[in-house]
């Protein structure tokens, strides 16, 4: 053990000496000779310490002193890649490939360059060639490939290489974590959950894995499982603030607002100026009808970050519920100035104008919300309410039909068209659009159900009656 420790110390000392000598040369503006191994050491040292400027200087000098050295030219190419000079690096690598076609490091570097250019197919071809060049070092080559692809955010492409690595090194659970994360980034949540669980079977005390699992469950709206995952993360590390905050959000989504409030307060003890947590806390107080405290924390969030739209939206909802529509619209105007691409702001503005009995402006706001998010079913529903309440079916039907031709089969517009045709007695069109809407998004029928009263109208076809009454149960 002592011999091994001494060996490492000696190696570090040798590296330090050669680097100091190089830096003395630069400082004194002199020219020293370094052999190939020394230059490799110097360049690798600077790359490892993320000193790109010095690595570039060392590689440039090394290339002049040893123009025919493959290890030096390979490092020169890597330094150029770090500086984004892809074309120059590829020219060097192409030349090196003819000199040492069996050197897998050349193909790894070429693959990196092509990744950086966005040619992922060409990159994977180079990586596959690299794997054929050294049968004794496949695991390390695979590890290099997966690191390159992960660093450049090619998560779909990294998956097959990670699977090969897991086959060769099943005793490294970290590969399972990387695979789970890659599936998470590609939104394949089923496989992501599977491999996070496999990783946690081997390494149950990884708070980051439990946290990531909780985030996936939250995205899938499985909030009970999300809370459990966040609890495990927090039990392992009570400093995991992200797990704490997201546990509060999951609790709110479960309707457990009093528990969420406690979590947000706990989070704010360590980060009292976190405007997002203050906004979430205010929303939770709104849900428990504690409007005074809701206002208090919305105001605190605005004071800390005046250009964050969400607190203004929350204050607008409070004023709308209390009947002060002008004040509500004032907050919504401010929110729209800060975040005009948020469809919820336009939707709420439409509701406010509707409460002021300004139907034209309300419809324009709902239309703006739908331009930003055509799947905003509540906006389609509100437009439908105006159409039916104001008896505008004949006037609006051609407009809705034209919109459907443009945007296609989205659930909201199909439910609305089914309702319009239902009320005009056009049984075939009503049945067609309702069937399409239910296929696309059956759960959203509940939003539109008041447009479809239960009926046994003989003027409508039997299939439509059966389909409608089945979903009204």
Q: For 143-177, what is each residue's pLDDT tens digit?
A: 999 999 999 999 999 999 999 999 999 999 999 99
**Within-domain flag for 361:** no
Which residues touch 30 (CB under 8 Å, ≥6 apart)? 24
Ranges of residues in the chain with a pLDDT under 70 are 1-11, 454-465, 472-473
Q: Which CATH number fits the domain that encloses residue 408?
A: 1.25.40
Number of domains in the chain: 1
pTM of the predicted model as reported, rounded to 2 decimal places = 0.84
Nearest to 130 by CA among 114, 153, 111: 111
**Within-domain flag for 54:** no
CA 158 – CA 181 distance, rounded (Å) = 11
**Within-domain flag for 399:** yes
CA 75 – CA 90 distance, rounded (Å) = 12
CA 17 – CA 20 distance, rounded (Å) = 5
For residue 52, the model assigns a pLDDT of 84
**Within-domain flag for 349:** no
**Within-domain flag for 250:** no
Cβ(311)–Cβ(274) under 8 Å?
A: no
CA 42 – CA 54 distance, rounded (Å) = 9
**Within-domain flag for 421:** yes
CA 407 – CA 379 distance, rounded (Å) = 15
Give the max Cα distance, the chain: 100
**Within-domain flag for 265:** no
Element (H, E) at 46: helix 36-48
204 vs 160, 162, 241, 243, CA distance in Å? 25, 21, 19, 16
Cβ(175)–Cβ(167) under 8 Å?
A: no
For residue 49, the model assigns a pLDDT of 86
Nearest to 442 by CA among 377, 370, 374: 377
Residue 118's region, left for phi above 0, alpha for psi from -120 to 50, else beta, is: left
Cβ(413)–Cβ(380) under 8 Å?
A: yes
Query: Looking up tokens 């009970």, which residue turns up?
Result: 224
What does residue 426 show for φ and ψ, rounded to 5 degrees?
Answer: -85, 85
For residue 4, the model assigns a pLDDT of 46
The parent domain of residue 398 ranges over 387-473
CA 69 – CA 77 distance, rounded (Å) = 12
CA 453 – CA 276 distance, rounded (Å) = 42
Query: Looking up tokens 């330094």, which residue turns up?
Result: 79
For residue 5, the model assigns a pLDDT of 44
For residue 47, the model assigns a pLDDT of 84
For residue 269, the model assigns a pLDDT of 95
Q: Which long-range contacts (CB under 8 A, 24 or more apart) does 103-108 make?
A: 103/70, 103/74, 103/133, 104/130, 104/131, 104/133, 104/134, 104/137, 104/141, 105/74, 105/130, 106/74, 107/133, 108/141, 108/144, 108/145, 108/148
What does residue 234 show for φ and ψ, rounded to 5 degrees?
Answer: -75, -30
**Within-domain flag for 171:** no
Reading the block at residue 242, the tokens are 């992200």
Reading the block at residue 9, the tokens are 């110390």
Cβ(145)–Cβ(127) under 8 Å?
A: yes
For residue 8, the model assigns a pLDDT of 43
256 vs 232, 287, 355, 456, CA distance in Å? 19, 10, 31, 41
Name the CA radius of gyration of the chain, rounded: 31
CA-based angle 76:8:170, to the nearest 5? Answer: 75
């Amino acid at each position: 053990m002592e011999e091994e420790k001494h060996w490492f110390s000696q190696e570090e000392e040798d590296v330090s000496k050669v680097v100091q000598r190089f830096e003395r040369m630069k400082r004194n503006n002199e020219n020293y000779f370094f052999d190939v191994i020394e230059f490799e050491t110097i360049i690798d040292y600077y790359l490892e310490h993320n000193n790109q400027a010095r690595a570039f200087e060392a590689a440039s000098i090394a290339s002049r002193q040893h123009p025919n050295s493959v290890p030096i030219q390979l490092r020169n190419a890597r330094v150029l890649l770090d500086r984004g000079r892809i074309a120059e690096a590829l020219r060097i690598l192409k030349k090196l490939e003819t000199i040492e076609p069996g050197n897998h490091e050349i193909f790894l570097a070429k693959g990196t360059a092509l990744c950086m250019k966005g040619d992922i197919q060409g990159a994977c071809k180079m990586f596959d060639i690299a794997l054929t060049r050294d049968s004794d070092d496949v695991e390390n080559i695979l590890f290099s490939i997966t690191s390159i692809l992960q660093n450049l955010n090619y998560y779909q492409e990294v998956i097959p290489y990670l699977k090969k690595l897991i086959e060769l090194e099943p005793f490294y659970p970290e590969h399972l974590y990387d695979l789970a994360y890659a599936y998470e980034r590609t939104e394949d949540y089923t496989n992501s959950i599977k491999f996070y669980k496999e990783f946690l079977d081997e390494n149950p005390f990884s708070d980051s894995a439990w946290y990531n699992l909780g985030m996936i469950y939250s995205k899938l709206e499985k909030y009970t499982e999300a809370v459990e995952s966040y609890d495990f993360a927090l039990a392992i590390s009570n400093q995991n603030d992200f797990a704490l905050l997201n546990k509060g959000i999951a609790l709110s989504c479960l309707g457990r607002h009093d528990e969420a409030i406690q979590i947000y307060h706990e989070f704010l003890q360590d980060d009292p100026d976190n405007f997002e947590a203050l906004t979430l806390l205010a929303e939770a107080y709104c849900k428990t009808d504690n409007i005074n405290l809701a206002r208090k924390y919305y105001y605190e969030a605005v004071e800390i970050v005046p250009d964050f739209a969400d607190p203004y939206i929350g204050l607008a909802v409070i004023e709308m519920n209390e009947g002060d529509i002008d004040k509500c619209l004032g907050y919504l105007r401010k929110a729209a100035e800060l975040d005009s691409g948020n469809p919820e702001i336009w939707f709420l503005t439409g509701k406010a104008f509707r409460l002021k009995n300004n139907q034209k402006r309300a419809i324009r706001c709902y239309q703006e919300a739908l331009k930003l998010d055509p799947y905003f079913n509540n906006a389609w529903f509100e437009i439908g309410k105006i159409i039916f309440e104001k008896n505008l079916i004949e006037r609006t039907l051609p407009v809705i039909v034209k919109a459907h031709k443009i945007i296609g089969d989205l659930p909201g517009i199909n439910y609305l068209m089914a309702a319009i045709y239902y009320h005009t007695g056009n049984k075939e069109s009503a049945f067609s659009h309702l069937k399409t809407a239910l296929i696309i998004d059956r759960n959203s029928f509940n939003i539109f159900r008041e447009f479809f009263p239960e009926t046994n109208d003989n003027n409508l076809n039997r299939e439509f009656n059966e389909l409608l009454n089945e979903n009204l149960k």
